[in-house]
Structure 1
Amino acid sequence: MDEEKMDRDLEGLAVFRPLQKVTGVKAQQEFRLKPTQTILLSFVLMIGIGTILLMLPISSARETSLPFIDALFVSTSASCVTGLTVVDVKNDLSFFGKCVMIMLIQVGGLGIMTLGTMAVHAMGYRFRLRESLTLQESLGQSGRSGLFELIRRMIKYTLAVEGFFALLLTVHFIPEFGFDAIGYGIFHAVSAFCNAGFDLFGNYDSLCKRQDDIFLLAGIGLSIILGGIGFTVMHDVMHRRKWHRFSLHTKIVLAVNSVLIVGGTLLIFGVESRYDGVLVGMPLAEQLANSAFMSVSCRTAGFNSFDIAASTQVTKFAMIILMFIGASPLSTGGGIKCTTIFVLLRSVWAIFRGENEVTVFGRTISTRARNQAFAIFTVGTLWVVTMGILLAVVDGETNDLGRVIFETVSAFGTVGMGIGITSEWDEWGKVLLCLTMLLGRVGIMTFLLSLIQQRQSIVKYPKEEIMLG
């Protein structure tokens, strides 16, 4: 291989090549981005474009355009499919602004790398090794085999699920909204499947005034579940169909999701249907439907069918835990992921039992996966605690710490469930939440690896035991 061909193979992604032509500089080490850095910058670029578009007068339904900090916050929330907002989407944004929102949600849910890949691949572009590594990193894959087939399946499943629920919701909304039901159906289908939690009902009410609409809760809830379990799990279930043929990843995701959904439903129902809970006075069917919907939605979607601020402390605490865990890998949701918490708890149990290996469903979980689970949980906890402290300072003792932590975890898990205090914070509070949403969407490992230079030390030091516990 000659030197010129080697330089071509080591160039960065196509989006950065014009810079080399302008400067006349070859792709040296300082101009190359790690795959994780490219992923992070792709989201930053998308957020920047969304901010500019939302600041345009044509995006606002008011006489004045959105201020920069509000446009930045909403663009970040939509791109990271979070759902936290400081504007009323229905009343503050024009038709153009709503279209910008739904595009940011769709691209953010699938990932800009995924959509960009399919676009250039369809035009016949041949990906080089470094670009393939970036795609692998963005999709959490360990090899190049079947990479483009996976991306095609992701887009196919997304269009199929969103199209089905858009049609279903459109028919359901026709008696209320007439011709506008098409827009309502499409917007809420995309927002639900991408686990974004934005709605067009106005006044920051989400689904609170529709808590008796069991059909709507069931439709949006099912769409949230499909978006949250991940594309590989959907493919596994559709094609392998039998439990013993599923991959270990699929088995863990289905098992953990079932436990969290059922457990969350029973806890919310048991607490909020008694005494002065928010479900008191509803028929039993509506109590169960709202409990199940909130258990599903608070994992990563952000729609709410009752006033969270009025719920009990037990319910809020349970929601914080569910939001922190989040959805599944390679899904449209955030959080530390359900597989992470499973591997973490199973590893702790193995330590107490004196087991050398961690086995699940007849398979052994690798040491690398166990180490990553501990790292993700630790860094996620440290980030939430740090941001919680900083946001408490920004809050200035206006709200109690529980409300601040709830808002922080909601941003970290890209959930978007709020207690209504986000809009009260100044620019610093909104910037901190933007950073938290970005980290929650791109993933802790991707975020940190994009900032930290990895090195392999050739020096080996002697081992020495220390006391723990």
Structure 2
Amino acid sequence: MKKIRAFFDPPKILVLGFAVLILIGAFLLTLPIATHDGKGLLFLNALFTATSATCVTGLVVVDTADTFTTFGELVILTLIQVGGLGFMTFATFFAFLLGKRVSLRDRLILQEALNNISLAGIVRLVKRVLIFTGIIELTGAIILAIRFSLEMSVGKAIYWGIFHSISNFNNAGFDLNGEFRSLTPFVDDPTVVLTVGALITLGGLGFIVLNELYEYRETRRLSIQSKVVLATTLILTLGAAILIFAFEYGNPKTLESLSGSGKVLASLFQAITPRTAGANTLPIGDLAQSTLLLIIFLMYVGAGPGSTAGGIKITTFAVLSATVWTQMKGKEDVVMFRRKIVMETILKALAVAAMGIFLVMFVTMLLTITEGERHNFIMYLFEATSAFGTVGLSMGLTPELSPFGRVIIIFTMFAGRLGPLTLAYALTMRRRGNKEPIRYPKGKIMIG
């Protein structure tokens, strides 16, 4: 028994928990009650949809509104909420309700799920996560429901508000507009664009950052992680918005026909959503090649650690950028916000980034084999990056994927949701517990 418990360490339990949740969701989506035609979804399509929802990706092989009944949509919404916050967060919530004590083993799994640095205050953080989530999602739902009530019945508007608020705060990107349109009907609607953009951004900052912002009135300080997340988020969002505005300004299929304010709103939203929500107000397939490459980069980077988003995380990108800048200046120490970044963090960032690049390139290569010459290379690269970053944006390839292609994307979404986080945790634990008993002489290799 002890050997079995030792084998199932926190990363393995996290992976197994997500896998079980996906299988349960897939089974429910195959039931006749889940689809409008009364036949249920084919298992592979159900598995794809359940994986996309649980891994808060948003890639879909069938349109959500056109295919699923209210029961099916609620299954998807539940998978998004549990998958976004983590099943252990909800297990802890029910433990609170039942008055049970959270064990050390459960705390370790929570530390893994929330990507927290230490165990200190982990249970309090979980309570805050649930409170923050409830407040933010409720606020977003109310605003969106009021806006949607102008075009539909009050009951339907409330349902739409709740669905889109939960979907976008968890960076999932599922929508109810039908015909694979996402949020394109609201491209220049400031209420929808700004509300959904705020939900995506708050969900992507990470709960550790949200908690520190909440406590800032008392502490008057932010950790270096929060400073890096906030600064990098601002730089990437504004920088990408300006570039998208410039790249698409004269594109008749995207920005050209919009008003001045519409162009700004569309550019801003399209800069926010690749990190990593999946909703879009501009037709992705009609974007310029330069914009597509920019979005691929943003999807690969992702958002903050310990958030509902994917990618290699913006802290990884920031650390690597700071390391490159330090080397260019010929200095030794990598310094960010007057703090020296330890070598352990730099090596971990390199490992996560390299793993991400390898996985994206490998999946892209597999798609070129399984899907043949039907589409151009950038569509395959875009799809692979979107799945890895758990983004959900697509150039229209997802519904046309072959069965083998769908299986590949399923595994990519799963790996993208859990891979970088689990690898980072494993690297940390191994480095803490395994000190090299032998010191080898230094060897120099020419680089560049």
- One-letter amino acid of the structure 2 residue matched with residue 292 of structure 1: L
- Aligned residue in 1 for 2:45: 70
- Aligned residue in 1 for 2:388: 412
RMSD: 2.1
Q: Distance in 2 between matches of 1:445 and 1:236?
A: 21
- Aligned residue in 2 for 1:263: 239
**Pairing 1:251-290 to 2, within 5 Å after superposition:** 251-274=227-250, 276=252, 278-290=254-266
Q: Distance in 2 between matches of 1:293 and 1:231?
A: 22
Asked if the contact 1:170/1:186 (under 8 Å) is kept, the reply is: yes
Q: CA deviation at 1:126?
A: 2.9
Per-residue CA distance 1:361-406 (angstroms, 9 max, x = gap): 1112121111111111111000000011001111101100001100
**Pairing 1:156-167 to 2, within 5 Å after superposition:** 156-167=131-142
Asked if the contact 1:34/1:450 (under 8 Å) is kept, the reply is: no
**Pairing 1:5-404 to 2, within 5 Å after superposition:** 26-29=1-4, 32-178=7-153, 179-240=155-216, 245-274=221-250, 276=252, 278-404=254-380
Asked if the contact 2:276/2:390 (under 8 Å) is kept, the reply is: yes
Asked if the contact 2:53/2:80 (under 8 Å) is kept, the reply is: yes
Asked if the contact 1:411/1:433 (under 8 Å) is kept, the reply is: yes
Q: CA deviation at 1:192?
A: 1.0
Give the counterpart of 1:461 among 420, 433, 440.
440
- The size of the alignment, in residue pairs, is 444
SS at match of 2:416: helix
Asked if the contact 1:439/1:447 (under 8 Å) is kept, the reply is: no
- For structure 1, which segment, 353-362 or 374-383, has the greater mean C-alpha deviation from structure 2 after superposition? 353-362
Q: Distance in 2 between matches of 1:242 and 1:411?
A: 40
- One-letter amino acid of the structure 1 residue matched with residue 284 of structure 2: I
**Pairing 1:438-449 to 2, within 5 Å after superposition:** 438-446=414-422
- One-letter amino acid of the structure 1 residue matched with residue 58 of structure 2: G
Q: Distance in 2 between matches of 1:112 and 1:260?
A: 30
Q: Distance in 1 between matches of 2:138 and 2:338?
A: 38
**Cα gap change, 1:448/1:430 in structure 2, threshold over 3 Å: closer, same or farther?**
farther
Q: CA deviation at 1:116?
A: 1.0
TM-score by length of 2: 0.95
Q: Distance in 2 between matches of 1:416 and 1:362?
A: 37
- For structure 1, which segment, 58-67 or 380-389, has the greater mean C-alpha deviation from structure 2 after superposition? 58-67
Q: CA deviation at 1:275?
A: 5.2
Identity %, equivalent residues: 38
**Cα gap change, 1:362/1:447 in structure 2, threshold over 3 Å: closer, same or farther?**
closer
**Cα gap change, 1:295/1:112 in structure 2, threshold over 3 Å: closer, same or farther?**
same
- One-letter amino acid of the structure 2 residue matched with residue 69 of structure 1: L
TM-score by length of 1: 0.90
SS at match of 2:101: coil
Q: Distance in 2 between matches of 1:143 and 1:275?
A: 49
Gaps spanning 5+ residues in structure 2: where?
none
Asked if the contact 2:64/2:178 (under 8 Å) is kept, the reply is: yes
Q: Distance in 1 between matches of 2:6 and 2:206?
A: 34
Gaps spanning 5+ residues in structure 1: where?
1-25
Q: CA deviation at 1:211?
A: 1.4
Q: CA deviation at 1:134?
A: 2.1
Q: Distance in 2 between matches of 1:33 and 1:271?
A: 49
Q: Distance in 2 between matches of 1:458 and 1:91?
A: 61
